[in-house]
Structure 1
Amino acid sequence: MNIRLLNSNDAEAYLEMRLTALQNHPAAFASSYEEEKDRPAKMYGERFQSEESFTFGAFDNETLIGSVTLLREMKLKLKHRANIVAMYVSPDYRKKSIGRMLMTAAIDKAKELNGIEQIYLSVEATNIPAIRLYSSFGFEVYGEDKKALKVGETYFDEKHMVLHL
């Protein structure tokens, strides 16, 4: 397995994996398949070149099998914070420490960035494996958002977590 920052050459593979994730796990993401299915891969390629957004990919040979994004806050009063979003590992590769490797890469990047003191994330409240993973890095739940997401007629709660560096 190889973990690295994604670049514009990875945009098509990322879009394909992201759409699969949004279709198969709609409660895990704030975005929906319907909102993202017509977005061009080029948009992700441009995002991968940003100095505020860092998307790491996990690869099995040349196949993208997982990703996570670290977003740096840019507002003056929030510059000490970053957010982890869009964490995903393909089902066939779960329970193989891929998520741990992705989280390690994102947290290490946050530590490299000047001034980052806290990392935030949100996780669907019944996603126990993800909550366990995040907790193992020292993330702590600081709140729960009841009915945070609505997929069809079903509501999903989210736990909000923070890691103080």
Structure 2
Amino acid sequence: MKQVGQQMFNFAIKAAGENNPELSKEAAGICIWCFSQNAECYKQWERAYGDNIEASVAILKKLSDDWKEQSAKLSPDPLRDTLNGFKLKNEKVLTTGTDSRQGLFKDGDKYTKIILGRVTRSHGCTACLTVTVLALAVGFVFLSPNLESWDVQKLSAVFNPQH
């Protein structure tokens, strides 16, 4: 399926940039499916971004609109890397002001930032959960009602191995 995903992506990104809203939306969905099949498709998308900005904006919009459904199927690290690359490309075009497709790059930048925020938050929530669980475990140990029955010297030795 990896090779099929890469081959389909090449056709789908062209269709996603067409001036037919239904075709564009369907093709954007196929592109997102390709990302779930092969992370190499993210690299293809990065290479095609500027030349296919209409298609890229359609893909970003679909990904943003369908985030709850799509996010579980996608690898966050390659997606985050790709979006960070888009962010830099968008900033370059928007600061120079010489590209006639600035409105598309502005839309691309908007969706890129929205999705980046979601990818970053979902990754951060995992870290928050880990810290919360550790804090609860430490709190349980130290606030246990049977604390008197514990040997404080043994407990101290665990936390201070030099003694």
Q: Same fold (TM over 0.5)?
A: no
Q: Which has the larger radius of gyration?
A: 2
Question: Which structure: greater helix fraction?
Answer: 2
